[in-house]
Amino acid sequence: MACCTLCLPALMMLVLDLNTVESVWPLPQKLANSEERYPLSPTHFNFHYGEDQASIMTDCSLLDSAFTRYFPLIFPDLTSGNGVLPSTEEKAFSLVVTMQQKDCDGYPNEGSSERYQLNVSAGQAVLNSDTVWGALRGLETFSQLVQQDEDGTYFINKTEIEDFPSFQYRGILLDTSRHFLPLKAILNTLDAMAYSKFNVFHWHIVDDPSFPYQSRTFPDLSSKGAYHPMSHIYTQSDVRRVLTHARLRGIRVIPEFDSPGHTQSWGKGQPNLLTPCYKGSSPSGKFGPINPASALSYAFMSQFLKEVTSVFPDPYLHLGGDEVNFSCWQSNPDVRAFMHKMGFGKDYTKLESFYMENIVNITSNLNKTSIVWQDVFDYHERIPKDTILHIWKGLPAQYKAETSRMTKAGHRVLLGAPWYINHIAYGQDWRISYNVQPLNFPGTEEQKKLVIGGEVSMWGEYVDATNLSPRLWPRACAAAERLWSDESQTRSAEAAFPRLQAFRCSLLRRGVRAEPLSPGHCTNEYRGI
């Protein structure tokens, strides 16, 4: 089958009337549809590959599993127990998928194209994409285009879409240290991420409170550092399940092992790793960050990160580097002696720089690209130019200035500061997230190209499996649209509100516990209670 080429002017363009696309979220880059509609019947609907690709795509299990997964999402009454489906005109309808590259066996990465074209006409829809990852995004859009009338009959309007993300990195951070999140909660979050076209799961897997990652090389890290050595850990099998679940949805998994701070739980299972704190001339019995003056620290980190990079296939690894309290280092005589030896004087930011430069170099030698929190840049650390800087703090004026400085220095940047949605406010605080403009900072066009995307953070001080989903959804959807869609078409939160309301109802129907946006109801309310 020939590649589908869109001719958008052939249809009446309805870009400004966003109600015509019902609950499509995030908004496609280019969309044209008409009032012409075609009935769909689950008994006469099928997925298949284009005729010229049927032979080479027979073993694309990733896309085959997506077909299986999306069928009940397109026709939810088949699995909802709502009784007999209404009769429709029994006309066959096919969704034909054509891909330019066969890349079904790998993992998504920073260079993966998510571009797709979708053309819906009588009897068929043609989905053309560069890669399998674009095909997944197109399947999601198609599933959202299918609607039901008042009688329950499924239908889809004549539609043409050309779509691609504005930013390559669209992430969600989950914190599984402050509160342990059961595996099912993580997998459910990955499902909802795919519905909103997020493509990166930033797994902040360990921190001060607990170390739930079960290391093959250092098993005591979790056996002594987790809340419970059996019930509150992620085994290697659990990690593989997360990686597989994410891959099937076109989502990258980037783990974070934050150091030298945020490591109190590490010390419980790894003696001599943390810095002993002193009170006067005697140890106080407390411990601070990882000891940057000890060669043992770097030997451990080298061996541990070698394991981590063998477990997690993504080219990126988040190394943290934030919020290091210097008071324990300052109290330790061995650390002070090391400072003197290195000529650092009393500037402990130079000591942190020394540590982070070594850790970034270890990671580079493992053929991984490092992501670090903005503190590493702020302390003027000498890090490779390909290190990605993650902005996490500041009001708009501050994070815009920080973005400008970082990109002027030639670094790629991730914007996280405006999307810490573990912070909650009464009312529709999603509008604040929606109005963020990632590229609105002083800088050249070349600098703007260095902003590779952004991330929603859900820190876990007050979040566990009981409230994770309703606190995350649909509030995270605001950032999803900002990072995917054309900003010039999505400037108005007021115009987006009806679509987000409709999309929230779709999430409920798919089993996602998404909190309400305003008084009202959904035709299909959440049925999980």
| C-alpha separations of 276 from 130, 143, 220, 321, 460 in Å | 54, 56, 20, 19, 27
- Residues 6 or more apart whose CB falls under 8 angstroms from that of 332 comprise 275, 276, 277, 278, 288, 291, 293
Residue 425 CA to residue 416 CA, distance in Å, equals 18
Task: Answer yes or no: are the C-beta atoms of 284 and 278 closer than 8 Å.
Answer: yes
28 burial level (CB within 10 Å; 0-12, 13-18, 19+) = buried
Token code pair at residue 436? 């963020």
Distance CA 101, CA 53 (A): 10
Confirm if 210 and 226 have CB atoms less than 8 A apart: yes
Tell me if 89 sits within 8 A of 154, measured CB to CB: no
Cα distance between residue 141 and residue 27, in whole Å: 9
Eight-class DSSP state of 361? H
Q: Is the peptide bond before 26 cis (omega within 30 degrees of 0)?
A: yes
Residues acting as catalytic residues: 323
Tokens representing 520 are 């009202």
CB-facing half-sphere around the CA of 86: CA atoms within 13 A? 12
